[in-house]
A and B are shown apart, each in its own frame.
Chain A
């Protein structure tokens, strides 16, 4: 009988049903679109942010402090600790390996340039380098991935070749010595003969200390310093999610023994791509290292991601709120229109729960229909928005389908709550008197 009542009632007043369904379709379409974008925006913005450069710095745990004057590290090559280049492939074996977008080792070597007679820092690094990964694959990375904003006039050196790029500051200071195509000679000390010849292939502008250094292939720097297969610093570019209270607790728990995560908290922290959990995982594959977040980059990213996420949630809630209000309005009209019917049902012995159930079931059916249509309209809207904002359409998320249906049902129930409460207070005697 319930189904029959529901069916008969559902078939009545199709115009109002269409209006209610339309409100739900619009609300659910906006909710689907914003939720789809919200799920993607973190990933997409994080990838865009990666153009800001690396967000993690890995250094040897027992390294000495650098002795830098005017961008030149005067530490003797024998001082300080080094890391093994051969271990770098392990970075692509951690739990969040797919979030490691790139990494670049740096080896600073104090040296003299014979042509100028002055001290400078050589920075051995990779531009584009294929790193063997333990699973047998190769991963191409280097400064091109972690420092994409570095600008080179001329061209980058080739990996392993006797070539170098010279910082713009140095090139400006010694234009004759560091012109593109010229060969320079590098020595470890001022009296050691002609030194290692390198061809200048480009002038590099970084806006940082590299502008006063000579950048050269890592193997060449290792050879000059006498530390083959070693490096001092590693810049890592990783996709992360904004830090929250758990991320901060997880990070502090690494150094503060008074803070302990419960097993559940630990699992959640470990399985979330927080900068602290990725740093922790890097430390486990590169023992003897310190992993520091490059705060300026990480915090800016986190702030923007949080704000965009909040904005999308506000839009979603506003859309759902508007849908609930529209449903409340149509539901109130329906209840008023069917007041006599409600009065008769109650007079015949229908409980408030049963009468409410009939109206609620009708609204939920409408919600499911409206939610289903809204999901597909919203998926289309998300594609369009994704295309307009990020250049590529946002892929539909089937996982959102049941979520949207459930949301629609909840919204329909919330929207019907006030009218149904009112219906519960209808007194059949008053209604049947025709008042």
Chain B
């Protein structure tokens, strides 16, 4: 498989704090990677750099042939719109836009809007009947599914999910994880930050962090079936 993500000696400092300290790893296209580790270990910082939301202090972070570290602000904006699909723990939907409008927003920033495609994307995540609902009228699980639909709408090269089930109850967690598995089966590349070992085991590989260092890269020998 071709390498989609290549991280070399990546460092990120916030003042005197080293959030990432010489991290290197690779991700092949179509892989599902779980990034794990305790709070403050640098997981979200890594995701932010790979997603073009932050810039590294040193090192390389190449995604689909683009070194994120070398992009200027405009370049990072285009990179985010074209190559990355984000799924956040807090969903981060625009509160005054309906479900379909939230999905269309990502289309708009990417190129042009297509309401029909946005509706189909929502139908795919099981929200065909909630298209015109505002985020405040949706449950947490439904909001996260809107976020998944939004992340997928532009066919990104890389899906970055930061604790995607962190704010969900068990039932909704299962729905979202099943969606991620579907995406993986379709060949999407997913980098998912999680605290939960049970969720981490769903991935092809686990990359574990501690104090900004990569401490372990493990290949999941057994992928437990979703309940």
Q: Which A positions have Cβ atoms within 8 angstroms of B?
A: 1-2, 4-5, 8-9, 11-12, 340-341, 343-352, 354, 427-429, 432-434
Pair A346/B94 contact, Cβ less than 8 Å: no
Q: Chain A residues near B113: list those with CB within 8 A.
A: 1
Q: Chain B residues near A427: list those with CB within 8 A.
A: 53-54
Contact of A340 among B48, B74, B92 (CB under 8 A): B92
Which stretch, B21-29, B97-105, B173-181, B188-196, touches the partner chain A? B97-105
Majority secondary structure of chain A interface residues (helix, strand, loop or mixed): helix
Pair A428/B94 contact, Cβ less than 8 Å: no
Q: Mask for B79-96, Cβ within 8 A of A = 1, else 0?
A: 011100010101011111
Pair B150/A4 contact, Cβ less than 8 Å: no
Q: Chain A residues near B73: list those with CB within 8 A.
A: 352
Q: Chain B residues near A343: list those with CB within 8 A.
A: 92
Contact of B92 among A12, A347, A351, A429 (CB under 8 A): A347
B44 within 8 A of A: yes
* With A1-B108, A345-B109, A349-B109 as contacts: A432 and B88 at CB distance below 8 Å: yes
Pair B80/A348 contact, Cβ less than 8 Å: yes
B110 within 8 A of A: yes
* With A1-B105, A4-B101, A432-B88 as contacts: A349 and B94 at CB distance below 8 Å: no
Contact of B80 among A1, A4, A341, A347 (CB under 8 A): A347
Majority secondary structure of chain B interface residues (helix, strand, loop or mixed): helix
Pair A349/B53 contact, Cβ less than 8 Å: no
30 contacts between A and B (CB under 8 A): A1-B101, A1-B104, A2-B108, A5-B97, A8-B97, A8-B101, A11-B96, A12-B96, A340-B92, A341-B95, A344-B92, A345-B109, A346-B77, A346-B80, A347-B51, A347-B53, A347-B86, A347-B92, A348-B81, A348-B109, A348-B150, A349-B78, A349-B82, A350-B77, A351-B74, A354-B109, A428-B53, A432-B53, A432-B88, A432-B92
Pair A345/B105 contact, Cβ less than 8 Å: yes
Q: Mask for B39-76, Cβ within 8 A of A = 1, else 0?
A: 00000100010010110000000000000000001100
* With A347-B53, A348-B150, A350-B77 as contacts: A429 and B106 at CB distance below 8 Å: no
How many positions in chain B have a CB within 8 Å of any CB in the partner chain? 31
Pair A429/B104 contact, Cβ less than 8 Å: no
Q: Chain B residues near A348: list those with CB within 8 A.
A: 80-81, 86, 105-106, 109, 150
Kindly state the separation between the CA atoms of A434 and B91 in the bound complex, as whole angstroms.
Answer: 12
Q: Chain B residues near A345: list those with CB within 8 A.
A: 94, 105, 109
Q: Chain B CB within 10 Å — which of A1, A2, A351, A354 has the most?
A: A1
Closest residue of A by beta carbon distance from B101: A4
Q: Chain B residues near A434: list those with CB within 8 A.
A: 90
Pair A433/B81 contact, Cβ less than 8 Å: no
Chain A nearest Cβ from B69, distance in angstroms: 15
